[in-house]
Structure 1
Amino acid sequence: MDIVNYGVIGCGMMGQEHLRNIALLPGARVAAIFEPNELQAAAAKAIAPNAKLVGSVPELLAMEEIDCLLIVSPNHMHIPQFEEIASIRPLPLLIEKPLYTDPAQAAKVADLAAKYPAPVWVAMEYRYMPPVQTFVEQVQAATGGVKMLSIREHRFPFLPKVGDWNRFNRYTGGTLVEKCCHFFDLMRLILQSDPVRVMASAGQEVNHLDERYGEETPDIWDSAFVITEFASGARAMLELCMYAEGARYQEEICAVGPTGKIESFVPGPGRFWPTHLGAPPVPRVVISPRSPKGPQEVEIPVDPTILEAGDHNGSTFYQHARFLEIVRNGGTPDVALVDGAWAVKMGLAAQKSALTGKSVDLV
């Protein structure tokens, strides 16, 4: 097909990032948008002026020209909309993380995975950040086989969203699902192994405590330590702090093995970097062999046009480029439903561990 026509479901902040990146891709266009919030729909229309605004998922699916679908709605709506699509017109689908939010939905995901006839790609943008891709490509050679993996995200608090849905666990799945499924996915990707046990300590220490929505105070956590043991024998740790936006780098990933160490440093969104500090930091990767000693550092710059299209270090663009290959030519998604499901399963286990003070076995 010469032009791939997207139908987009949900166009809040992240949905609009997707629109800007699709606009940069040759041979791709947004043909239809379903966004029930009038302000967000108007903002989406400004980014994709040739897209048709529709009033429902069925109306969008009735448009014959649609070639593929993108779900970017609030977390708790992902599975109901996925099921609706499956029952009406199961087209190739890119569905934002987290795949689901409620443990009771795991069986529905397994059923959809078994029966859905078209490719389904779970959006895990962090895989496609150029410094993370370099890290993944080099990690085995740099370490001689990873024994210890740590991921640190020190970042800004949750941003305002339509209807304030991201302030409450019942809509998000909890911080360790909503925010951290990215990192649990990276752990499985880097270690090429599945987790067997999760231990966590987490809570709401600083953010959103003075906010009120109706009679409710937000219950979304802002910090955590999570330790995960893998079937391979490797161990991984996540450190999350969502009141540390003053840091030079937002994500730091470190893997160590018998022959050396590799690190990746990823800055946060450029729009948040103070102008008086000059140009934003450039991503970098550092490899530190044990013998002969001598760290080797390389910067991993990102095309400025792609960088400005979103808040995820260019990754949304590169993810869509790969998804379009699948839509045009067929093949297997990089991030399948089983990967998205594992990331949620790990997040839910971490939430449970933090609440109970006990480790959670996954096998």
Structure 2
Amino acid sequence: MKVGICGLGDRLGYLAKVFTETIPNFDIVCYADPEPTGFRRMDEKLVRRLRGFKDLETMLAKERVDLIMIGSPNVFHCDQLCQVLEAKVKIFCEKPVVISEDETLRLLGELSKVGTDQIMVGLVLRYAPLYQDLERLTRQGIFGDIISIEAAEHIPPVHGAFFFRDWRRKTKFSGGFLLEKCCHDLDLYAGLVKSRPRRVVSFGGNSFFTQRHQHLAEELTYQRWPAQWQSTESSFSGDADIVDHQVALVEYNNDVRLCFHTNVHTADSFRRFCVIGSNGMVEGDFVRGYLRAHSAVPQECIFDSTYTHDDQSMHYGAEEQMAVDVAKHLEHGTPLPVSVLDALEAGLTAIKIDEARQQGNILDLNGLWSRFDEAIAS
């Protein structure tokens, strides 16, 4: 299988290494990126033989490939996806897939012509061993019917500072912080609930990464992660329009409720959840590596597991399992645990949560899902 990369940054540089090591005959032959930064993550011998192109259009015209991996800044995804779909080439796209409702409906229209299997998505946490155990406990009915979920993703200062220096600090490029960083989490819990959001409301803002704290700019923590395209020197420049903390409430069509909290300047980071059901509860943390379930009556622990992973893994060992599953999908057509439709629904949820925050309103999403279904059926 000949593979081309569109947008060769750190993320796809790392995935290229994992996929090449895991998937038989996965041969990356070319890339489209005027300023690639992901070479440091890749095998030196592979890098030396790659053919580089300034843009996707040129690469598609010059190379015959079986798969395109898209890892460019989010703002470019929709046009690039449509371009590759038109070329009838299979796609692996990093999340988020697109950055607006209009782009979502446009892509759904294109997918209605070619089929949703043409795009695989990098919602990698669906492949995490911890989440797979959580799904299994849910299927087994260990905690009964889900009633409510409390969840959070809090990242450390070094990571938050990167967001506020990188292109991701601008909503016009990233789609906003919640979409860029937390669509993973919104997808995970939608996958458990198996229902679409009915109403959303949110509050949030930027309280730390402002010019008021410019005196901290020289601290190594706030400079450590290199930012590239459309970057700024200081995380406290004041030109960002994303949030550094946010809370959201989601009510699903099946009456399950989720409360979600994120903060990008957390001293001891965690990615934690608690799912409470009619027969018990399960709680876990991807960062701290544990999953525990308790029954309600009698009150006792019925599942307790810890998870370790290679320090090089970006998502708790999930990339390796994703590569294994992608290999099965490419070779045998085995369904993947997450689809492009799942990704688009999670993305739209994040987009509408941000709209609710900006408007200061509770948003009803029923009309949104009608438009979504009409677009994919067209």
TM over 0.5: yes
* 1:315 and 2:348 are equivalent in the alignment: no
Matched, 1:260 2:258: no
CA shift, 1:297, in A, is 4.9
Gaps of 5+ in 2: 218-230, 367-378
Counterpart for residue 34 of structure 1: 32
What amino acid is aligned across from residue 114 of structure 1 in structure 2?
S
2:298 alignment partner, SS class? coil
The answer as to whether partners of 2:126 and 2:338 remain within 8 angstroms in 1 is no
In the other structure, the counterpart of 1:227 is: 249
**2:347 is the alignment partner of 1:344:** yes
| 1:142 aligned partner | 142
Residue 148 to residue 76, structure 1, CA distance change in 2 (3 Å):
same
The Cα shift of 1:213 comes to: 4.1
Equivalent position of 2:79 in the other structure: 80
d(CA) in 2 for partners of 1:66, 1:189: 32
Residue 232 of structure 1: how far off its partner (Å):
0.9
Distance 1:208 1:162 in 2: 9
Shift of 1:291: 1.9
250-259 vs 319-328, which deviates more? 319-328
Change (3 A) 1:298 1:266: same
Q: 1:6 aligned to 2:37?
A: no
Correspondence for 1:241: 263
The amino acid across from 1:19 in the alignment is A
Q: More displaced, 255-264 or 62-71? A: 62-71
2:223 counterpart residue number:
none
Aligned mates of 2:131, 2:40 — CA distance in 1: 34
1:251 is aligned with what amino acid?
R
Partner SS for 1:69? strand
Which residue of the partner structure matches residue 126 of structure 1? Answer: 125
Q: Deviations over 1:314-338 (max 9, x none)?
A: 2122222212222222254432232
CA positional deviation for 1:5: 2.9
Counterpart-to-counterpart distance in 1, 2:346 and 2:51: 34
Report what 1:185 is aligned to.
187
When structure 1 is superposed on structure 2, of 140-149 and 154-163 the one drifting more is: 154-163
Deviations 1:68-92 (CA, angstroms, capped at 9, x unpaired): 12111111111011111122x2222
* Matched residue SS, 1:339: helix
Cα pair 1:252 1:263 within 8 Å, conserved: yes
The letter of the residue matching 1:8 is: I
- For 2:294, the aligned partner's letter is S
Contact 2:82 2:110 in 1 (8 A): yes
Overall identity of the aligned pairs, in %: 19
Aligned residue in 2 for 1:151: 151
Query: Partner of 1:284 in structure 2?
Result: 290
Residue 53 of structure 2 is aligned to residue 54 of structure 1 = yes
Distance 2:336 2:362 in 1: 32
- The TM-score normalised by the length of structure 1 is 0.85
Give the length in aligned residue pairs.
Answer: 340
Q: Deviations over 1:100-124 (max 9, x none)?
A: 1122212211112202355212221
TM-score by length of 2: 0.82
For residues 127-157 of structure 1, what are the alpha-carbon distances to aligned partners after superposition, in whole Å with 9 as ceiling and x for unaligned?
1111112112112522101111121111123
Distance 1:256 1:161, change over 3 A: closer
> Closer, same or farther in 2 for the Cα pair 1:26/1:138, shift >3 Å?
same
Residues 50-85 of structure 1: CA distance to partner in whole angstroms, max 9, x if unpaired?
433333213433466522121111111110111111
Amino acid of the structure 1 residue aligned with 2:250: T
Task: Quote the offset at 1:258 in angstroms.
Answer: 1.2
Evaluate the alpha carbon distance shift between residue 295 and residue 163 of structure 1 in structure 2; reply closer, same or farther with a 3 A threshold.
closer
Query: CA separation of 1:243/1:163 partners in 2, compared to 1, >3 Å: closer, same or farther?
Result: closer
Q: Give 5+ residue unaligned stretches, structure 1.
A: 268-280
In structure 1, what is the Cα distance between the partners aligned to 2:192 and 2:300?
23
The amino acid of 2:150's aligned partner reads S
Structure 1 residue 40 displacement after superposition: 4.2
Give the Cα separation in 2 of the matches to 1:12 and 1:162: 18
Is the CA contact 1:33–1:51 (under 8 Å) kept in the aligned structure 2?
yes
Task: Give 1:355 deviation, angstroms.
Answer: 1.1
Kindly tell me: are residues 144 and 42 of structure 1, through their superposed partners in 2, closer, same or farther at Cα, counting changes over 3 Å?
Answer: closer
Partner SS state of residue 11, structure 1: coil
